[in-house]
Structure 1
Amino acid sequence: MIAQVFLLAGVPAMSAQAQQADSKQSPEEFARCLEQLGQTAVQAGVSEQTASRVVAGVKKVDRVLELDRRQPEFTTTFDDYLNRRVNQDRIQKGRELLQTHRQLLQRVTRETGVPAPYLVSFWGLETNFGAYFGKMSVPDSLATLACDRRRSEFFTRQWVAALQIIDEGAIPAEQMEGSWAGAMGHVQFMPTVFLKHAVDADDDGRRDLWNSLPDAMMSAGRFLESMGWDGEYRWGREVLLPGDFDYSLADGRKLPLAQWRQHGITDAFGNPLARADISAALIVPAGHRGPAFLVYQNFGVIMGWNRSEFYAIAVGHLADRIAGAGGLQVPPPRDLPALSRQQILELQQALENQGFDPGPIDGILGSGTRSAIRQFQQTNNLVADGYPGAQVLKMAGIES
């Protein structure tokens, strides 16, 4: 799921005409692009033998372009997202694997500072503990995307990195399989991330994230360490908010725990927050009716792996459950509708029309849109939780 980092980055969608034009790329045009990709790889240090061999075997995959173009019709609710990913089967399997690979995981923790439950959690969310890596040829997928103008520069870098990985002997080109966007192995590294952070932890002379669990787990730990993982603290925690809480504070600001205590926040069981010298931000992913979380620095590190707050909460919560913790004290409400992209587009436009800046009108419920919703709620005497609930949609004139 590292591939999701750029999928969630708010890249503007191409026009229908541009998409149609790219889909009509002729075989001759693709062949010329592929030849140029081979030359680019050689210029970056890939051997001519490797570049020629890989280029000769590459095929354009129209299915990859279809997946790249496809936008989900509806957004996912937090309840649906979390319950699909943090379920009893995954929790139990994670606990079993925590014991089975305890020696390896303890070694990774000693060397990187990342606790074992988090490593297992990432592994579970990325590939269901190695059950599914993806079945698409990475060279084919990356060449197809690099020759498509929408994100050619990004995928050309990934293509070159993939050939460098092949050239170093990590894996033969014909065995390099992964997601449609090129994410690979147990922990779904993109090729550029592989080059920078993958390690040979089993000392067999190869960085093998497909067949070597030691390599995969140590690489994941090194990647998280490089982004600033703090082994002294957890990712965050569920908290309880007082009935009169000012939800406008859940806007991403970081405050010391002492200040959150002053605002009446307790832990999930009603106990006072610890007096640790640490700052945290408050997140209410399902609005004021759902669970609330205070998140620390490591939450931001998880977001460096995947820029989705839902994903980062799922990683942290699954890690807690694998370590033996129970479920959420305040479960996400199940009656919240999944909004369509069209509804979000209409909401963004309505907010902008009323003077509340949602950022790009792109149909994505990002931080800018939530900030605009919060301002709209404050103006209209609603709970300012930044969530597009039924009242917000109704007052904005959006059919729910």
Structure 2
Amino acid sequence: MPRFRRSASAVVAGLLLCAGHVAAQTPPPAPVPAADMNAFARCMAGIRGDAAKAGIPPAAFDALADVTPDMSVLPLLDSQPEFTTPLWDYLAGLVDDQRVADGRARLAEHRALLDRVAAQYGVDAETVVAVWGVESDYGRISGKRPLRVSLATLACNGRRQPFFRGEFLALLKLMHDGDLQNRDTTGSWAGAFGHTQFMPSTYARIAVDFDGDGRRDLVDSIPDALASTANYLKRSGWQTGRPWGFEVKLPAGFNIAEAGRTSRKTVADWTARGITRVDGGALPSGDTRAAVIAPTGARGPAFIVFRNYDAIYSYNAAESYALAIATLADRLRGGSGLATPWPTDDPGLSRAQRRELQTLLLARGHAIGEVDGMIGTATRRAIQSEQQRIGLTPGDGRAGMRILQALKAGR
């Protein structure tokens, strides 16, 4: 999601993870403020003038901007899953066997297209498909909020109004110019949309017409969407034929303060400090600059990362997001996943395991709705009830391995 860095990151990825994760870790939703319609009208009048300067005639602006604000988007500004969810939960839901199998099927289905994309932009097929899988589950989930409404609301309310004002104008320009032909196009609450979830301004700068039909369509054209994603990564510094990084083993006594994506040393320096690949493979040449990251501390998985990791990170500036893309791409290449366990006694659940947990909760009489793998409020309350009954602590309603195993054992 090359968009709204840090402040409104992978919203659709959050939907894929299952909306709302852990009652004890995610604060209750903030109350939805009431709309000030007079202030909104004044704001839109100001944007109307900016639109005219951007080449959108007043009549066209009036036709496209006839919206009523949806204030429910405002509380979402501070509830991104990349920053509120344990990394082992985040990756368990996004890089599971189902997404790997689906991704390999997409690789086979679109092999000729992906080969052409790789030849033109230098980005391997597995990385492009991994972005597609994490951003929209390969086009299945791309957001249901009307973009015009969400962006107009955020342009006139809440923090970062100048940013969203620019995105709203970019969206209207895409509609006016014909790239977007549906004025009711939907996407995430933050304005990202399409197969690989571009923000409108990124769409305007980066999107390409790869299917040759005369317009750039990231909503209904898979060729345009995948090529545009590769174009984004290329323009972010992607180095053809180079790895994003590798899982590594930290030596005893490693100074964790030296870790961090921006703490760069040569591979020779890291090797001298005892950094080795967990699979025993060779690292790139000694003068290659790299960083070592240990996102859950010295006891958890650690990685040595290179320039291509930075390109992935630029798509959505969150360590968890970049690792989801990188590790999914590795699985799509045939990798078996991480060798080092997460530093927790309660690992996260895949989507299949979440559905299994919901089935067990239904069998115990909890009214949680359908079995869909979406861990929402009703499921969390049911989990919390079972945790309290069994005596599992903390009784936080989190969907983890411990509660699943306890219910499977008939406790």
The TM-score, its normalising length taken from structure 1, stands at 0.76
> What is the deviation of 1:173?
4.6
Q: In 2, Cα distance between the equivalents of 1:6 and 1:264?
A: 33
The amino acid of 1:117's aligned partner reads E
Q: After alignment, is 75-84 or 306-315 more displaced?
A: 75-84
Task: Tell me, yes or no, if the aligned pair for 2:56 and 2:176 is still in contact at 8 Å.
Answer: yes
Give how far 1:244 is off: 3.3
In 1: Cα distance, 2:240 partner to 2:171 partner:
32
Secondary structure of 2:231's counterpart equals helix
Equivalent residue, structure 2, for 1:259: 269
Q: How does 1:62-81 map to 2 (within 5 A)?
A: 62-68=71-77, 70=79, 75-81=84-90
Code of the aligned partner of 2:288? I
Q: Which runs of 5+ in 2 are unaligned?
A: 10-29, 349-411
Residues 296-326 of structure 1, C-alpha deviation per residue, up to 9 Å, x if partnerless? 0111111111111111111111001001111
Q: Report the equivalent of 2:327.
A: 317
Asked whether the equivalents of residues 267 and 273 of structure 1 are also in contact (C-alpha less than 8 Å), the reply is yes
Query: For 2:160, what is the secondary structure of its paired residue?
Result: helix
Cα displacement string for residues 88-124 of structure 1 (whole angstroms, at most 9, x for unaligned residues): 0001111111111011111111111110000000001
- CA-to-aligned-CA distance 1:64-92 (integer Å, 9 cap, x gap): 12323557798322211111111000011
By how many angstroms is 1:218 displaced? 0.8
Distance 2:176 2:273 in 1: 57
CA drift at 1:241: 2.0
In the alignment of these two chains, the number of paired residues is 327
> Residues 50 and 278 (structure 1 numbering): CA distance in 2 closer, same or farther, change over 3 Å?
same
What is the CA-CA distance between 1:289 and the residue it aligns to? 0.9
Amino acid at match of 1:108: V
Residue 398 of structure 2 corresponds to none
Matched, 1:236 2:239: no
Q: Which one of the candidate residues 35, 42, 54 is aligned to 1:44?
A: 54
TM alignment of 1:6-85, pairs within 5 A = 6-7=6-7, 23-56=33-66, 58-68=67-77, 70=79, 75-85=84-94
Conservation of the 8 A alpha-carbon contact between 2:143 and 2:187: yes
* Cα distance in 1 for residues equivalent to 2:170 and 2:107: 32
Could you report, residue by residue, the CA deviation over 1:250-288 in whole angstroms, capped at 9, with x for unpaired residues? 144211112222122211123453435411100011111
Higher RCO by CA contacts (8 Å cutoff, separation 6 or greater): 2
Provide the identity percentage: 40
Cα contact 1:240–1:270 (8 A) shared by 2: no
Question: Does 2:155 correspond to 1:146?
Answer: yes
RMSD (Å) for aligned C-alpha atoms: 2.4
> Contact between 1:235 and 1:298, CA under 8 Å: does it hold in 2?
yes
**CA offsets, 1:364-394, max 9 Å, x none?**
xxxxxxxxxxxxxxxxxxxxxxxxxxxxxxx
**Contact 1:77/1:337 (<8 A) preserved:** no
What TM-score, normalized to structure 2? 0.75
Distance 1:181 1:260, change over 3 A: same
Distance 1:53 1:202 in 2: 29
**Partner SS state of residue 287, structure 1:** coil
**1:162-181 residue CA offsets vs partner (Å, 9 max, x unmatched):** 01100111123533211011
Give the secondary structure class of the aligned counterpart of 1:202.
Answer: coil
